[in-house]
Amino acid sequence: METIKEKHHLEKIMSGGILSPKGYKAAGVHAGLRYTKKDLGIILSEVPAACAAVYTKNQLTAAPLQVTKESIAVERKLQGIVVNSACANACTGRQGLADAYEMRKYAANAFGVKEHYMAVASTGVIGEFLNMEKIKRGIDLLQPVKEETGGADFETAILTTDTVTKKTAYCTYIDGVKVTAGGAAKGSGMIHPNMATMLGFVTTDANISSAALQRALSAVTDQTFNQITVDGDTSTNDMVVVLANGTAGNRQLDEDHPEWDKFMNLLKTTSEELAKKIARDGEGATKLIEVRVSGMRTVEEAQLAAKTIVGSNLVKTAVFGADGNWGRVIAAMGRSGISFNPDDVTIYFGSHLLLKESEPVAFCEESVTAYLKNEHVTIDVLLQEGGCSGTAWGCDLTYDYVKINGSYRS
């Protein structure tokens, strides 16, 4: 029996993922696009679901994004998402667009849903055509199930240079009923959203309108997925899609609902964890770097400063080398494009104070070096411009990043 206290808290579902909410199935198979690994997956809702999506800001938009936008525009509902890895189907002209449409149509027919209820996504090498014979054969092999094995197969099928799968799930109580959100994502390189080589899929059984869900996702993305960076490059294929099938049974959510904040916290926490997992799995990365900037006039300024710092190659290499070089942090801050008093900057690496109101502080090099060898490194920058703060996540820059990207296509 759930206690009243428990019903007011957000709860992490251990080993949870996209199938933790009610009413979803998933699968992943090896269609032959990659040598041996799974490379084609699907998420299916048992009923048409409210949906929302955000996309790359790159002017070169891959064909699957164009087709998915068109699907969503019809009724603002989706029932399935079919995803392939190995080939991005980007910069492929009219043939690429035709292939994306064919992929949507074939999957919709295979699973008995309306064509515009199916979204498509692709990730992999740019400028190569999809092997549609293998795509269709792979779709025929997909057998979506409710069990977590289906979610695990999907999570594996969407990976490219990722070293680990990325999933999470949380639940809360709204209107006295349990509401759950789960997610799966891929992303390892070419990560500098708005957005990046990043695909994110969130499922929830919440009852919410598509319009309210879109507003929620857009707000949450600015604080989570758009606050990670690996290498400063922005992909052609980035997309985050949320499905909400309403099977939890709560009253329909929007900003006027008395427990709207609970849903926002559920979506934000799920998205933030996926974003951090992507940042930690940056190509060749050994550490997650979290930069927190506080004391700014606006949240936007704080977020920009934090993302500039965490995206600095000099900061990233200093963290890789466990070098307490706070000068690289303040230098990145200075070129971030925001205005601040350069005489009022305080910097911490973890609990180690290195700079106080722009005056260097004596610190133990050995202790700071030992701290920077941790897998999760936090850098705090404190200013005195206002009361707003922002956070960004990234990873260190290692020798392996060059190795991976020097031969990615070949």
User: Mean pLDDT throughout 290-299?
Assistant: 97
Domain boundary among 278, 313, 343: 278
User: Mean pLDDT throughout 7-14?
Assistant: 84
Confidence of residue 192 (pLDDT cuts 50, 70, 90): very low
Give residue 194's pLDDT: 36
- Sign of torsion over alpha carbons 82, 87, 93, 94: negative
| 223 and 341 together in one domain | no
Q: Which residues form the domain of 392?
A: 288-406
Give residue 284's pLDDT: 64
- Please tell me which residue in 61, 197, 204, 269 is annotated as part of the active site: 197
Q: Are 123 and 197 in contact (CB under 8 A)?
A: yes
The answer to whether residue 1 is domain-embedded is: no
324 backbone dihedrals φ, ψ, rounded to 5°: -75, 55
Q: Report the Cα 144 to chain-centroid distance in Å.
A: 23
The total domain count for the chain is 2
How many other CB atoms sit within 10 Å of the CB of residue 14? 6
- In 3D space, the residue among 228, 218, 219 whose CA is nearest the CA of residue 185 turns out to be 228
| pLDDT cut 70: percent of the chain above it | 91
| 228 and 357 together in one domain | no
**Mean of pLDDT over the chain:** 90
Catalytic, 92? Answer no
The answer to whether residue 61 is domain-embedded is: yes
pLDDT of 1 strictly over 50: no
Give residue 8's pLDDT: 56
CATH number at residue 326: 3.10.20.340
pLDDT of 376 strictly over 90: yes
Question: Which distant-in-sequence residues (6+ apart) come within 8 Å of 218 by Cβ?
Answer: 52, 54
Q: Are 66 and 56 in contact (CB under 8 A)?
A: no
For the stretch 109-121, pLDDT in tens is: 999 999 999 999 9
| 297 and 337 together in one domain | yes
| 24 and 154 together in one domain | yes
Confidence of residue 164 (pLDDT cuts 50, 70, 90): confident
pLDDT of 231 strictly over 70: no
Confidence of residue 283 (pLDDT cuts 50, 70, 90): low
3-class secondary structure, 328: helix
Q: Are 93 and 127 in contact (CB under 8 A)?
A: no
Give residue 161's pLDDT: 77
User: Mean pLDDT throughout 317-346?
Assistant: 93
| 237 and 325 together in one domain | no
Domain boundary among 278, 306, 326: 278
CATH number at residue 149: 3.60.70.12
- In 3D space, the residue among 371, 379, 377, 410 whose CA is nearest the CA of residue 396 turns out to be 377
Give residue 253's pLDDT: 98
